Amino acid sequence: MISPAPSLSDGYAVHLVAPPSTRPNTSAHFGRTTPCLLLAGALKDNLTPPPPHSRVMVIGDSSTPATASAIGIPHTDHFTPVLANPNSLKRKILSQLSTFDASPSRIICWSDELISLASSIASSLDIPTELISTKPSTIKKPPQSIDTIRVFEPQDHDRWLDLRHTCQTDQLLASLIDADQPTQQERSDARSKLNIDDQTIVLGAVADAPNEVDAREFAFLLGLLAVSGYQLLGIIPKTAKNLNQALRHHRGLDQPFRILTTTEPLPSLIPLLDAYIHPNNELSGSTHLVDRLLQRADIPILNLRHSGKAGFSRAQGAAGLLLDEMDHIVESMNSQLA
C-alpha cells in the first residue's frame, strides 16, 4: 500500500500530479503522462484510496483536468500555477485544505516537478511526504524533507543517492500501467474512424512530455521514409515543438504522407500505432515506463531518434537498420491481414 485507507475522520491522502497540457506553442508545460498513468493505476487497484477518501489535486493550466479525466484520474481539485511556477500555489492549497473538517495524513507527490510544492505543504501541516519519482533530472535542488522516494530505474536510484536521498526501487506500480495488445477488431475500428487503410503504416512520435517531441524532425524522417516507398501516417502531439514548420515542410513535399495532430493521451493511441519513435534516450523511469507501456502492447520502437537529418541521412548503418525494421513492420501487418 502507498497509503492506508483511512476514514475521513482519521485524515486522508493528498495526491499531487501534473498532467500534460494540450495547449500548443509554449515551452512552459511541465506536465507528463507517466505520473498520471501510475496514479490512475494505483487508484483503480485500490493501492491508495480513491476520492472521497483522498484529495486528488491536478496542477496545470485549464486544459489539464480534461487530460487527467481521459487518463482515468478521478480528481477533486484543480489549481493553475502563476507563470507556470507550482510553488506559487502553496497558500491556495493550504487554504483549500483548511476548509475541511479533517486534516490530511500525508502528501503523495506523483510528479517530480511538484516535489518542492508538496514538501512545503507537508512541512506546514507537519505530515510526511512521499514522492513517486520518474524523472529526478528535472529537480535542481530537492527539499530535504522527503520521507519516502520510490523510483523505477537504477539510474534514478543513483541520481537520488547523488542528491543525498535514500530511495527504494518499486516493483509493483510499473505493472499497473501495462496495456493489453489491441485486438484486430479494436485496431480496425480505430483506424476506420480516421479513414486509415490496411496498407498504411502508422508511426507515432511519443514522449512522456508531449511537448518534447520535435515535429519538424519527425516530419523530415517521414518524408525520407515516404521517398523510400512506404505508405505512412505520422501521429504528432499538438503541443509538439516546431509543429508549424513541420506542417509547412509537409505541404512543401506535396504531402506524400499523412499527418495527424492529436491531443489524445498516449493510451488512447495504442490501437492505431504500428510503431513508434521516442525523442530521447535518457535512462530514467520516464522513458522506461513509456517504452514499457507500448512494448507490452506489442508496438515496436524504431531504434532511431526522430532527429531525421542526424539520425537518418548522415548514418548509413542507422538508415539500413531502420529500413529493415520498417520491412518487418510491413510483414507483420500483412500477416495479420492474411
pLDDT value, residue 38: 96
Average pLDDT over residues 59-84: 95
Question: Span 73-83, mean pLDDT?
Answer: 94
Taking the CA atoms of residue 175, residue 61, residue 112 and residue 74 in that order, the dihedral angle to the nearest 10 degrees is -40
- Would you say the C-alpha torsion 274, 279, 281, 283 has a positive or negative sign? negative
pLDDT of res. 2: 57
Percent of the chain with pLDDT over 70: 91
Mean pLDDT of 262-282: 91
What mean pLDDT is predicted for residues 177-201?
A: 91
The pLDDT, as a whole number, for residue 330 is 83
Higher pLDDT, 315 or 163: 163
Whether 235 has a pLDDT exceeding 50, the answer reads: yes
Only one residue has cell 486528488, namely 56
What does the pLDDT look like over 100-120, one tens digit per residue?
888 999 999 999 999 999 999
CA-nearest of 181, 126, 172, 120 to 151 is 172
The radius of gyration computed from the CA coordinates of the chain, to the nearest angstrom, equals: 21
pLDDT at 293 over 50: yes
Q: Can you read off the three cell numbers belonging to residue 234?
A: 505520422
CB burial of residue 24 (10 Å; 0-12, 13-18, 19+): middle
Q: What average pLDDT does the segment 188-202 reach?
A: 93
What pLDDT score does 321 carry?
75
**Predicted pLDDT of residue 8:** 43
Mean pLDDT, rounded, for 5-15: 66
Residue-level pLDDT at 262: 96
Q: What's the mean per-residue pLDDT of the chain?
A: 88
Mean pLDDT, range 204-217, rounded to an integer? 93
Q: What DSSP state is assigned to residue 13?
A: E
What is the predicted pLDDT for the residue at 312?
42
Closest-CA residue to 51 (of 70, 35, 75): 75
- HEC sequence for 70-97: HHCCCCCEEECCECCEHHHHHHHHHHHH
